[in-house]
Structures are given as C-alpha cells and as structure tokens.
Chains A and B, each alone.
Chain A
Amino acid sequence: MTNEQQFAASFAEIHPPLGRREALVEANRCVYCFDAPCANACPTHIDVPGFIKKISSGNLGGSAMTILHANILGLSCARVCPVEVLCEGACVMHRYNQQPIEIGRLQRHAMDHFYATGRRLPAAAAAKPGRVACIGAGPASLACAATLRQLGFAVTIFDSRPLAGGLNTYGVAEYKLRPSDSLQEVELVRALGVEFRLSVEIAGEWRIKELEEEFDIVFLAVGLGRTQPLEIPGERLPGVVDALRFIAEYKTYRGARVGRRVVVVGGGNTAIDAATAALRLGAEEVHVLYRRSETEMPAFQFEYDLAKQEGVRFHWLTQPVAIHGAARDHAAVESVECVRMELGPPDRRGRRQPQPIPGSNFRLSCDMVIPSIGQSRLLDFLAQFRDIRLAGGCVVVDPATGQTSNPRYFAGGDCVNGGREVVDAVAEGKRAAAGIAQRLEAMHG
C-alpha cells in the first residue's frame, strides 16, 4: 500500500454514504412533519422534510437545491454536524420507534449527487452597487459571501492561509471531512463570482485603511487563535504539538509525525479528534487527561463513545503540571507530570471547580503531548479595528443582523460565538449577509 492508500484506509469515513436503496428506505420513513422540529433545530433552518421528500420522489437535484438554498455548505454540514444534538436529536421518530431519521446521511446523499453530477447554482441576480470584504475564508465568510453574491453584490474573501475553507479544510477530523470536499464547496462559492485573495494577511493601520477604502462593508469571520498554552514547564519541547496544528499538519501533508505514546490534554471535541487521529496515524497508546470528571466533559457523548471504542484511555480529574524531557536528549518528551484533582463547590455558573490534591503528583510516560484546552481569542488582531466592541475576547454583534458596534463592520462565526459548530458559523454568515444587504441598499438607495 502506498502512503496515500494507507492514510485513506486509516481515515476511512466514519459515516459511509447511503446507497440509493438505503436512502430511499430511510427517506420513506420520514413522516414529513409540519413546522418540523428537525428544521427548527438546524441553525440554518434547512427544510429537512422538504429535501427528504424530494429524495423519496426521485428528485435528487431538487433535494440538493433545497439544502443549498438554506445552507451553502450543505455537504460539509452533512458530514460534520453533531446531528445527534441538532436535527436528529429533534426528530419525532425518537418517540415513535426510537429510531430518528438519518438526516445527516440523507443530506449527504443529496449533496453527493449534486457534486457528482457537476450541477451549479443559479447565476447571481443583476449586479448591485456595494462591495463587501469578508475577512477569513471559513464557513461564516463562505456563507455570507455566497448569500450576498446571489443577491447581486460584489464580494471578496481574504485569508492568510493558502487554501480557503478555514477549519473545514484544516481542522476537521479526516474521517469526517476531507480537504478535497471542503474545497469543492469553496469552488461552488467561487463559481458564483466571489473573489478570493488568499495568503493575504490583513494587519496594520495602513492595510485596514486600504481595506476600508476599497470596500463599503467588512465582514469579520476570522475565527479564533492558536490553541491556548498549558502554561507549564516543558511546553516548548518539540514533542509538544497543539491540537489544531497537529490536525492541520496530518490533513495537509502525509509525513506528519506522531508519537508512540501520546497524551492529549483537554476534554473537548477537538481533543477527541486529535486523540483518535493519533491512533489512526499509528500511536500505540493514546491517553486523554481531563481535569474534571466524565460527567463534566464538554465533548459530545458520541465523540466520547467513538474515542472509547477506538481504545483511547481517559484519565479523569487529572491535570498536567510539567512536561519532562529525556535526560539524554532534551529535545524529546519523556513524561507528563500530573496531579490528581477533586471537584470543589460549584462556582457562580454552577460548574464545580477542580482543585489539586496536594502530594498526589505522578508521572505518565509518553513521547508526545497534544494540548487541546481551547483556542485563544484574537484580542490583538481584533483590537486593530476601530470602535468594535469586544466581550470576553469575542466580537459583540446584534444577533439578528451580525452588525458590530461599528456600523460598517459585521461579524460572525467563532470570533463572535467563541467557537461553535460549522453550521452555526453558516447561520451567522447568512444572517449577517441579510443585514449587510439591507445596509448596502440603504447606503446606495
């Protein structure tokens, strides 16, 4: 097997596509709810019963258009959405026979057909005056740009990375979504006439002035920053690779390094993605350290279940306090020193705070550490834009329109919501597009 084949086998899709017959049987099970809870639970309000009905009537092309009408990233959302807590979690069939409709896989079925048959979206409406810059080429910008373009406005997307798609291209576990799928969606948006300026950093007073001269409106969808540091000794050893960098590296080049014994620090969904990827890349043991207990872990239940099934070992109430290098070779990680924690009384938000148990230190030997304790806020970057109010490191917007405290600026996605799902970013991009369109029309009469 070639490297590429080996990689493809290790990262085989976790939810394989439905065959035509499977899709039909599943689609026919849908009772076609009115004011459907699944559609209401979807942040982008995809008309779920509508697209499922079209699958059962044999109108696959129309089904995909129904999806794309609400969500331009219908393909990636079909694959990465935590459907268990969104559409499928809301499905009435839970209370019928305990078997919710497999909405995610049905959506995938329609979207795969759309891309396989090379279909296009209808051309944009007649050109309207008004130029919009979207900063960041992730889901929020793609949704905002596509919606504005379809309304007839000129849109340019900027990103500092060479490929568009944001975390869809660089940050989603490979067994859920591949960069090539993310890039297909980017191409769909490009085909609408959206301009992409990639490998471009927007920074500095002069650059921002230039941006404001060229564009009427700026949509900020810059996401979040790097993984937060653990702030413990040994963190700068080469064997310490933060989760986002680790995921981006293995997804974009095949020589990505993985340890034999890997320790992941954190209890979120990204920690799970990193842990299961490390196993797939050949790690013999993967340990996840989380400072609270199983019940407080923020990762979705199905992500946790997946990791357990694959053999990831979880250490609850465990916090790293130092990373030790090998005595001989200081470049290599040899162990993580941990301390046991106990849960104290709940804080103001009702969350029980972990506190270290003195003298409970122990060492866990390993040769790689992957910190995954959440992303930092882009405080310095966002501070460059005038009059944009931040709260807790996130941009404050009017949730209905995405408008910031600076009326020429709108924002959406992780830099607003602090880090949610792709579908939330799409919804915020869509809403901001509507808000921007309204403002542009007011500006240009």
Chain B
Amino acid sequence: MADLTTRFAGIESPNPFWLASGPPSNCGDQVKRALDAGWGGAVWKTIGEPIVNVSSRYSSVDWNGQRMMGLNNIELITDRPIETNLREIAEVKKRYPKHAAIASLMVESRREAWHEIVRRAEGAGADGLELNFGCPHGMSERGMGSAVGQVPEYAKTITEWVKEVARTPVLVKLTPNVADIRTIARAAKAGGADGLSAINTLNSITGVDLDTFTPRPDVGGQSSHGGYCGPAVKPIALHMVQQLAGDRECGLPVSGIGGISGWRDAAEFLLLGCHSLQVCTAVMHYGYRIVEDMIDGLSNWMDEKGFHTLDDFRGLSLPRVTEWQHLDLNYKIVARIHPELCIGCGLCYIACWDGAHQCIHVEGAGSPEQLVAQSRASLAQTPAVVAVDTAHTPAARIPKVDEHECVGCNLCWLVCPVEHCITMDRVDTGLPAQSWASSGAGS
C-alpha cells in the first residue's frame, strides 16, 4: 500500500488530510474524534480574544437538488477562552504525538499581542502556527484577518513579529480576495514564513430569500457578506494553488484548501504541488468519517499509478500549466459521437447550436427551430400494437458532427450525460506545433 506520510514545512503527519481551521476543529473532543477517524492532523479553530457570534451564521447554494454545493459563513474566530483552547491542544498532543496539531492564530495588530499568543501556543505543544490573514468577514472590520492579508506590508510585518519569537514552523493563510495572491505570498516569504495555506474563503452573498427579501444568512432581517467555500470554490482554489506552487519568487510549500471533498480532489491539489490538504466544508456536511475513503481512494489510485509516496507525484501537473500564448494553435481535436452509446437526448445538438459553433446536425433539419416545428407538426398517436423499443435510440435522433466545422471546444462532450458517448479525438493537421508567442505575433 502507498505511503501517505506527509512532511510539510517541517510538520509531520501520518497522512496529508488535515482538518482546516473551522467549526470541525473547535475543541479538543472534536479533534480527538477526528484523529481517531483517521485524519492526519488538525488546524485548530482560530484562537484569539474570544468573540461573540450572531445567529444565524451559515447559508449555502444548492444545485439541482444537491445540498451545499457552496457554503457561506459569517461566524468569527473561536468564542472560547484562549487558555481552554491551549489546554486542549496540549491534551491532544499528549495523546496523539504523531499527528499534526496546528494553532491558527489571530490577534490585534500589535507586536506584543502576537509575541504573547505565539509563546503561549508553542507552550501548549502546537506543532506549528497558522496565521489567519484570510477571514473576509467580521474580523476584517476590526483590522484583522483579510484586512491584514490584503495589504502586503501588513502581512510581512506581522509575519516578522511572529518569526521573532516562533520556534515552530509558521504558515500564513492567504485570502483569495485580492488581485494577485502571489503578492501577499511573496510578502509572507519576505517576513520569514515557512509555508502557505490557501485559500481562505471568498467574499460572498449566497442568495436572497424571495419572500422576505433578506439575503442569506438572515440575522434578524439583515445580512452581511460572508466567506464562501465548499465544492463550488475548488476551481478557484486550484488556480491559486497552482499560481503559488509555480511561483519561483515565493517558493514556499503550500497546504491546499478549497472545496476538497474526496480523494480525487486531493490528488488534484497534490498534482498541482500541494504538500498537505485541509478540509472543512465536506466534514461539516458529512462528518469526520469521510476521511476513510479519502485515504483509501488516494492509496488505491497511487497503487494503480505506481506511486509509492506523495513525493512521487507531487507537482507533476505543474509543468503542464502554461500561459495561453504558449499553447499549440495547430493541435486539433474534433468531437465524435459514438452512436451505440447515444441515448438521443439532443443536448449536444442544442448546446452546439446555441452555445457553440453550429456544427452538430440532425438529419432533415436545417436549424433547431425547424426540428422542433417538424416534431410538433407530427401527428403522434398511441400505438395500437405495443412494441416500444426502449433499448435502442432511433437512428434519426443520433446527431452527427460536421468534423470540418468542429472547432474542438469540448462543449458537446461536457453536456453529454453519458460517459464516453462523445469523445474528443485528435486529428493530425500535419502542421508543426505553433503558438501565438512562437509565431511572432506576440512580440
């Protein structure tokens, strides 16, 4: 079986799956149960001067009958006393010496305040510190969280203060609510950070109640923007993680966060260079138990691919991300519909006509409107003799691709509900690779 042992910025854990700082890592009992369930580590819910929360605190985006495609929260950092949190960290470390226990920290922007909290957290036995420069709601109005993480000088200064006293690795958690996340990462590096955690939540309003007109979550008839996370933000997180992992100027290891819900997501973050993975929303949705398939699925995939350790494939996809200007303009693919798998739903046809390049056709119809008009004009009747062939798609309903017109955009393949029914096949243009940049047009 594959070895999932993880070493990130000097912090070790039996596997790369850590609880991200948030409600699932709010107290010692929770963290112990999580580690028993198989999690490799936990970043404690952010510790600082206790706050008072509002109710309600969360809202979500559902999609097509599925709950929580994206989750939004306006909860603040811990509402428990610093000493309680630290005592429980000490207990966890005593019982789980091989697991990672990271203290997430956020205090007012004073050197003394940071020095004090760092000393206390390390005194409790934390394996590392994660500086919360990311929270986009509430705390930022008090000059903390993303208020720090959006200004490179602030991020650098506070990281420096922390590094003045810290003996354990210092991670800076980055907010995605910036123009270029690399500028903050470079500031953190300049301040002496040992690693990065990315991404924190995105500013969001998840929706508006159409009866009360109050956006969600509703706090007594008013709402406030919150932090968005969950599966919906994964593509944004992957992009930012790639930017960080591929940035030579920064060069810090990254703990990937953002919509990781299963082993496939985990593998993707690792392929884009992450050293550890943090999960919150998926645990809030289904509980700690989800880690079992994360570990099992990732191990099985690694065995199948012949990877023995995480280092064997970490960052393997990074060289495959480039700028658009370097992509080969002479690489050509076309859509092919495999008739034996086609169920005749017509989604590729209408997607190509309305959303792409009008190169998928149905016999006998010059346009979608003509096709519908013909169907509506047909005099359908209940069959007198019952012989409904449900197993085969009528040949007339199987669309055909005009390969000369097909631009290879992928849209038909994306909308097709049947796996492998549409494939995007390489066509040899006989032309050498040529990009916009190499053609000279870019110079």
Contacts and interface: CB of A to CB of B under 8 A. Distances in A.
Contacts, number: 91
Given A89-B388, A300-B386, A31 B380 contact: no
A135 B371 CA distance: 36
Contacts of B397: 37
Interface string B54-97: 00000000001100000000000000000000000000000000
Given A32-B347, A34-B347, A95 B65 contact: no
A93 B417 CA distance: 10
A85 interface: yes
Interface residues of B, number: 33
A89 B372 contact: no
Summarize B's interface: helix, strand, loop or mixed: loop
B380 A85 contact: no
Given A40-B380, A85-B386, A35 B347 contact: no
Contact of B375 (A35, A56, A86, A431): A35
Nearest to B349: A34
Contact of A40 (B64, B345, B378, B383): B378
B186 to A, nearest CB: 45
A94 B343 CA distance: 8
A174 interface: no
Contact of A95 (B343, B375, B386): B343
Interface in B400-434: 417-418
B371 A35 contact: yes
B380 A33 contact: no
5 contacts: A28-B65, A35-B368, A35-B375, A85-B386, A95-B393
B347 A85 contact: no
Interface of A: 24-25, 28, 31-37, 39-43, 45, 56, 82, 84-86, 89-96, 100, 298, 300-301, 399-400, 417, 420-421, 423-424, 427, 431
B241 to A, nearest CB: 32
A35 B362 contact: yes
Interface string B335-369: 00000000111110110000000000010000010
Contact of B417 (A34, A96, A424, A427): A96
Contacts of B392: 95
A434 B366 CA distance: 26
A39 B375 contact: yes
Of the candidates B346, B375, B379, B380, the one having the most CB atoms from chain A within 10 angstroms of its own CB is B380
Nearest to A96: B343
Given A93-B343, A100-B390, 8 more contacts: A31-B347, A33-B346, A35-B349, A35-B368, A43-B380, A94-B391, A95-B344, A423-B382
Given A41-B380, A399-B379, A420-B381, A96 B350 contact: no
Contacts of A24: 65
A85 B383 contact: yes
A431 B375 CA distance: 15
Nearest to B378: A40
B379 A56 contact: no
A298 B378 CA distance: 25
